[in-house]
A = this chain, B = another copy of it.
């Protein structure tokens, strides 16, 4: 994904831009974004749950954008769950990946039925590599 697309993916949702979320890598089947502490820290000095959720969730859209031909289709999140494992301090990195086989399966489903569904696990780590949270999202690419 070009830098322009990465910037546009975040800028298309003003509140993601307000969180300071930045896509740092995105290619077919793989995407990474970063979340800075400010303005996401709560009054205990740790990053707010909703911001952690957001940096993980938005990667489903970014990954769809770079992995599928979305001409006439739109990525939609159907459900998501998050587990908070330890207090999140400093810049948080969120990472997702989807296998080429799974991408091919979703693409085939979408072409055949107008809808392709997939699950995406995100791992959120701090600057020392410690896992602070994990998410599992259910996404669809759908014809509109």
The contact of A83 among B43, B57, B79, by CB within 8 Å, is B79
Q: Quick check: is A97 within 8 A (CB to CB) of the other chain?
A: no
Q: Looking at chain A's contact residues, is the secondary structure mostly helix, strand, loop, or mixed? A: mixed
Determine if B15 and A19 form an interchain contact, defined as CB atoms under 8 angstroms apart: yes
- Which residue in B39, B43, B74, B82 is a CB contact (below 8 Å) of A18? B39
Q: Known: A44-B74, A74-B44. Is A51-B82 also a contact (CB below 8 A)?
A: no
For the complex, count residues of A whose C-beta is within 8 A of B: 32
Does A108 sit at the interface, judged by CB under 8 A? no
Which residue on B lies nearest to A21, using beta carbons? B50
Identical chains in the assembly: 2
Task: Determine if A79 and B74 form an interchain contact, defined as CB atoms under 8 angstroms apart.
Answer: no
A84 touches B79 (CB 8 A): yes
Q: Which residue numbers of A lie inside 8 Å of B, CB to CB?
A: 12-16, 18-19, 38-44, 48-51, 53-54, 57-58, 74, 76-84
Q: How far is the CB of A94 from chain B (nearest CB, A)?
A: 12
Contacting pair A78 B83 (CB below 8 A): yes
